[in-house]
A and B are shown apart, each in its own frame.
Chain A
Amino acid sequence: MPAYDSLVEIFVELIRRASTELPADVIKALEEGKEKETESGLADKALGTILNNIEMARSTSAPICQDTGTPVVWIHHPVGVSTRALAAQFETAVNEATQRRFLRPNAVDTLTGRNTGTGAGRGIPFIHFEEWDEERIKVRMILKGGGSENVGAQYRLPEARIKAGRDLEGVRRAVLDAVFEAQGKGCAPGVLGVCIGGDRVSAFEMSKRQILRPLVDTNPIPELAELEERLLKEGNELGVGPMGFGGETTLLAVKIGILDRLPACYFVTVTYMCWADRKAAVSIDEAGEATWLS
């Protein structure tokens, strides 16, 4: 286990990568979307600007979006590691990354309305810990923007308005309704992280965790793999388009996770991730050596 304070620089670099560089699969999906749009139309121009912006951010190491989001973090750690110490180091890294303008001061005191100025605050960053048998530490993070967070949704099935029952057809109906309700407000084209089941807390965590998946992986559960594919196709058929300007590309991917539920509850929980699908992951070995995973 490396010294805790040696982790700060690695965490800052993790944040820099996530805030300023998009993963290759996201860029590819945006490029493929642009090819489907009518040349010189509003959707085509929007995606062209988005792709220029991604390259500009990467080449200057500046934030892709000024809303640098909430750092949502999943840390796997070896037995005997102090999660309090890890959390403290991560918070120091958020402060440092804010100073270096990889992050905007993004935490507002909910009572007073004042910005904390440090990037950190009550519940920000949000870190999940999981102990494992390996000797290395694995850190995965998304930067979750506020505009897209506002269009996330949680459905309680059955839902008569959209004729959604407690089955996968009901899930399909709820997700398509959420895509319609979001229109372009979550900065379409977006990536959907969905959770079926769980409670109101565990479900949102699971839906956010789906955002970590590569855009083109295959869900190991065949029924869910099929539903993901169908929802991506039908979501795009809604025609909301980039920025809600109308067009072919409304979604880049749909990823579905599943949790068991209480007999009384059947939640469908949707996290909407904007086109700036910012994420990064790192593995840190016993000597403190970092290997970048994305």
Chain B
Amino acid sequence: MAELKLPVSEEEIRKLKVGDFVELTGRMITGRDAAHKWLMEDVREDVLPYMKDTVIYHCGPVIAENDDGTYDFVAAGPTTSIREEPYQADVIGRYGLRGVIGKGGMADKTLAGLGEHGAVYLHAIGGAAQVLARAIPSVERVFMLDEFGVPEALWVIEVDKFPVVVSMDSHGNSLHDKVEADSKAKLRELLGL
């Protein structure tokens, strides 16, 4: 399994291919539905440095607040990514992201955006909230916690050997498109369509 340090260069990202296992180490940020809408409503200057050359994780975690005001990730698996399809390619372009982590894959606009900007879609194991929370040893800071609530806030986190699979790469390949096409052929056979 390849290890990938964050932040990461465009050159490194373009080497990744669909089907690669990767372990991520370094700083990344979480963001889901409310965050993507908010990130495109304006250029959020204070968040920009936390997104450039790293990845955004589609995750709404369970959080524990410690007595000293720090936070821990208690459960942190990926959420379904396709809801961010209208925003994702533009968010990647505007904030200089090198990747997206989520589940279920994304569609054509995002796939084109990955190619254009040099980024990848990384699939985490849906529901594996404990395995993944354990790969998040610390929380650096949080944006929009009061406004969005715990699951929707943007959490800046440190990850250590965070396991993912490249399911959409920067060369126009998507594992999701392939599985969908294969299963569609099988469905038509089963139904005689």
Picked from B129, B130, B165, B176, the residue with its CB within 8 Å of the CB of A42 is B165
Per-position binary interface string of chain B over residues 15-29, scored 1 when its CB falls under 8 Å from any chain A CB and 0 otherwise: 000010100000000
| A115 and B149 in contact, given A50-B125, A53-B130 (Cβ under 8 angstroms) | yes
Whether A238 touches B129, Cβ cut-off 8 Å, given contacts A147-B79, A244-B179, is no
A53 with B163: CB separation less than 8 A = no
How many angstroms from the CA of A184 to the CA of B179 in the assembled complex? 9
Task: Give the size category of A's interface with B.
Answer: 35 or more
Measured CB to CB, the closest approach of chain A to B182, in angstroms, equals 6
Chain B, 72-115, CB within 8 A of any chain A CB: 74-77, 79-80, 82, 103-105
User: Are B60 and A66 touching (Cβ within 8 A)?
Assistant: yes
Shortest CB–CB separation between residue B62 and chain A, in angstroms?
5
The verdict on A185 contacting B127 (CB below 8 Å), with A239-B182, A246-B182 known, is no
> Which A residue sits closest to B192, measured CB to CB?
A163
Q: Which residues of B contact A (CB under 8 A)?
A: 19, 21, 34, 59-62, 64, 74-77, 79-80, 82, 103-105, 123, 125-131, 133-134, 148-152, 163, 165, 167, 175-176, 178-180, 182-184, 186-187, 190-193
| Apart from A147-B79, A238-B187, 13 more pairs, CB < 8 Å | A46-B125, A49-B128, A56-B131, A64-B129, A101-B74, A146-B79, A147-B104, A162-B193, A163-B192, A180-B184, A185-B82, A187-B127, A234-B190
Contact A57 B179 (CB under 8 A): no
Within 8 A of B (CB), among A18-49: 42, 45-46, 49
| Residues in chain A near residue B163, CB distance under 8 A | 49
- In the complex, the answer to whether A173 meets B79 with C-beta atoms within 8 Å is no
Known: A63-B62, A66-B60, A237-B190. A50 touches B127 (CB 8 A): yes
Q: Are A62 and B104 in contact (CB under 8 A)?
A: no
B-contacting residues, A225-265, CB 8 Å:
234, 237-241, 243-246
CB-CB under 8 A from A64, the residues of chain B are 75, 127, 129-130
Cross-chain contact of B193 among A63, A105, A163, A240 (Cβ < 8 A):
A163
Dominant SS among interface residues on chain A:
loop
Give the distance in Å from the alpha carbon of A162 to the alpha carbon of B59 in the complex. 35
The reply to whether B176 and A244 form a contact with Cβ atoms under 8 Å apart is: yes
| CA distance in complex: A187, B102 (Å) | 12
Q: A63-B75, A115-B149, A187-B103 are in contact. Are A45 and B130 (CB under 8 A)?
A: no
When the two chains form their complex, are residues A50 and B62 in contact, meaning their CB atoms are under 8 A apart? no
A187 to B105, CA, bound (A): 12
* B77 touching A66, Cβ below 8 Å: yes
Give A234 to B176 CA distance when docked, in angstroms.
20
- B77 in contact with A67 (CB, 8 Å): yes
In the bound complex, residues from chain A placing their C-beta under 8 Å from that of B190 are: 176, 234, 237-238
As a 0/1 sequence over residues 47 to 73 of chain A, the CB contacts with chain B under 8 angstroms (1 = contact) are 001101100110010111111100000
Chain A residues with CB under 8 A of B180: 183
* Chain A, range 61-90, C-beta contacts under 8 Å to B: 62-68
Interface centre among B19, B127, B148 (most CB of A within 10 A): B127
Measured between beta carbons, the chain A residues less than 8 angstroms from B64 are 101
